[in-house]
Chains A and B, each alone.
Chain A
Amino acid sequence: MTAPVLDIRDLVKEFPLRGKAGPKQTVHAVSGIDLTVRRGQTLGLVGESGCGKSTLARCAVRLTEPSSGTVELGGADLFAMKGRALRAARRQLQMVFQDPFTTLDPTMTIGGILREPLEIHGMHRRRRDEYVRELLDRVGLDPGHAHRYPHEFSGGQRQRVGLARALAVEPSVLVLDEPLSALDISVQSGVLNLLEDLQEEFDLGYLLIAHDLSVVRHTSTEVAVMYLGRIVERGPVDAVYDGALHPYTQALLSAVPVPDPRAERRRERIVLTGDVPQATDPPSGCRFRTRCRLATEICASTVPELVEHDSGHRVACHHPRTISS
């Protein structure tokens, strides 16, 4: 395995709620997460809305200060960096955002948007226009459109511009925060293929945040499943998809539709009851226990550790078992 480029260790992020009245509350967005992204590989992070995925992503690129824990970029602590070292780190670590409609400044041309990273880092002083054209060409856009404004482009094209902007500084890791979920299905596959090509070409490490399980299976080397601020299961993509051990992962996977109608009808589904508990007041012990069909007393009293089940496949559950067993 290649060396880790982005190493997230025991990351915790809590937001104090400033209520007008009543007791002080804290949102437990991310509660002790370890993740590792390696060069040339994709780590898929799945979980439903509000489970803390985006907060984790923002901490990973130092847009948000975590409450505790560290993020290491190439072995150096990202949050201890200042000045020159931080600027250098910023070139290594880039992010692609979810919403293609706010990711580009509407008052700037595409060329201006792509020139900005070069200005910030003083790159390609003599040949910026040429480099911008190369970038546009690389992400599958017409290099002649550099003078156009974001509103003249479709969602998928804007997402490509956002990707080109991230690539402009030649990073080694990209944090992709649901880069496809705002796009039409027909456009998604194009961007997905582009992401794969770029990964191969530049040996990029991806932290791919998604809620589309098939996208993650298609692209990722490893997958981590997140529920209410914690990782519940993690491992090589095939091990997790074919032999899910956590009841939550099993429920998520059983919700993926099967293309074959006959198989689809026969398919057994695990339907979760109840809502996701409030992140201000997560359940004690295992956070999934309130919706879990296997929950027992120990689940309420003890937080399950993320233990290795077989090579690289870890699960945080007191009653791990595969569906067939």
Chain B
Amino acid sequence: MNPTGTAAPVPGNKPSGRGFLRRFRRHRFAMAGLAIVLVLAFCCYFANIVAPFAQNDQHLLLGATPPSWRHLLGTDQLGRDYLTEILYAGRLSLTIGLSVAVLSTVVGTVLGVIAGYAGRWIGEVVMRITDLFLVVPPLAVLAVALQGLGRSYLIIVLVLAGIGWTVIARVVRGEVLALRERAYVDAALVLGASHLRIVLRHLLPNLAGVAAVSVSVNVATSIILESTLSFLGFGVRPPQSSWGNMLSQASGYVGTPQGYLLYFPGLAILITVLAVSFVGDGLRDAFDPRRKQ
């Protein structure tokens, strides 16, 4: 410490302004994950430019061929370039994954904060509703909902988010119950801070790490859940396609020479899920000023 009280910068103590970005950049896995997600998203959403062939360009006589220089990931049963198909399918998978994650985290965080902060009675009501959502088997609900409401991807997003918010709501409520007992919340109350200020200035910033992890976990689970649905035949239908939908189309090829039709979409899901969770970890650490490296 500098006892003379001068404002002169001490060597080696750079101002930690913009600390969030600096901490995130130091997180190598998160940076790598972010790069992968961005490249993947770019390739998928700009597939009309990036993809080597046109979408749904069938060559029925060619049929399924293994990877070659002309078709890097081979071709499927209808003779379509598999890389092209994976990129176009990625649009839907990534859109579903990201929008479900953001939607369920926002809803879960808002309800969790209300349940944890608004007092015993309201909290109990919110948590009992959450329990209700938690005890219902998600796949059954999804299947019924998609049968009844149609299978547009908007419905899929809403239904997946309707399942996803419950976990984060519980976690956030627990965090809020702990955070509101901290002395800095009492200090803010004694200073005359409004409840809105306490929630926005003190609770939400301290919840950001939890929310970041929730987003990344939810991206992963909703991509996987969408795959499961497609696999069971409740997901998007051809001509629309997603990675999960491609998996289900290729499910018969396990152990045959055409196994690559199964592996490549599976690999796309795996890489996305891993990359997103690294980003989530990085965000969590970056939101916490106490983490140095």
On whether the beta carbons of A94 and B17 are closer than 8 Å, the reply is no
Query: Smallest CB–CB gap between A285 and chain B, Å?
Result: 35
Q: Is B191 an interface residue (CB 8 A)?
A: yes
Give the interface SS of chain B, mostly helix, strand, loop or mixed. Answer: loop
Measured as residues with beta carbon below 8 angstroms from the partner, the interface class of chain A is 35 or more
B22 at the interface (CB under 8 A from A): no
Assuming the A-B contacts A106-B290, A149-B16, are A87 and B1 also in contact, with contact meaning beta carbons closer than 8 angstroms in the complex? no
Residue of A103, A109, A120, A157 touching B191 (CB-CB under 8 A): A120
Q: Does A143 contact B5, Cβ atoms closer than 8 Å?
A: yes
Cα A278 to Cα B230 in complex, Å, equals: 62
Residues of chain A in range 105-162 having any CB-CB distance to chain B below 8 Å: 105-109, 113, 116-117, 120-121, 133, 136-137, 141-144, 147-149, 151, 157, 162
B190 in contact with A144 (CB, 8 Å): no
How long is the Cα–Cα vector from A93 to B7 in the complex, in angstroms? 31
Binds A, one of B63-71, B199-207, B261-269, B277-285: B199-207
| Mask of B188-202 contacts with A, CB within 8 angstroms, 1/0 | 111111000100011
Total residues of chain B contacting the partner, CB 8 A: 34
**CB < 8 Å A-B pair total:** 97
The answer on a CB contact under 8 Å between A143 and B7 is yes
User: Nearest Cβ in chain A — how far from B201, in angstroms?
Assistant: 7
| Residues of chain B with a CB closer than 8 A to A109's CB | 16
User: Shortest distance in angstroms between A120's beta carbon and chain B's nearest beta carbon?
Assistant: 5
A99 sits at the interface (CB 8 A)? yes
> Contact between B9 and A144 (Cβ–Cβ < 8 Å)?
yes
Are B191 and A94 touching (Cβ within 8 A)?
Answer: yes
> What separation, in Å, do the CA atoms of A121 and B192 have in the docked complex?
8
Are A144's CB and B2's CB within 8 A? Answer: yes
Partner of B205, one of A63, A104, A107: A107
Verify if B184 is at the interface (C-beta below 8 Å from A).
yes
CB of B8 closer than 8 Å to a CB of A? yes
CB-CB under 8 A from A151, the residues of chain B are: 289-290
Q: For the complex formed, measure the closest distance between the CB of B210 and the CB atoms of chain A, giving whole angstroms.
A: 12
Let me know if A105 and B186 touch, CB within 8 A: no
Are A116 and B191 CB-contacts (below 8 A) given A97-B186, A107-B206, A149-B16? Answer: yes
Instruction: Give chain B's interface residues, CB within 8 Å of chain A.
Output: 1-3, 5-10, 15-17, 19, 182-184, 186-193, 197, 201-202, 205-206, 208, 287-290
A residues contacting B by CB (< 8 A) are 58, 61-63, 86-87, 90-91, 93-95, 97-99, 102-109, 113, 116-117, 120-121, 133, 136-137, 141-144, 147-149, 151, 157, 162, 165-166, 169
Could you write out 25 A-B pairs with CB less than 8 Å apart? A61-B190, A90-B190, A90-B192, A91-B192, A93-B190, A95-B187, A97-B186, A97-B187, A103-B183, A104-B184, A105-B201, A105-B202, A106-B290, A107-B205, A120-B192, A121-B192, A133-B7, A141-B5, A142-B1, A142-B6, A144-B2, A144-B6, A144-B9, A148-B16, A162-B187
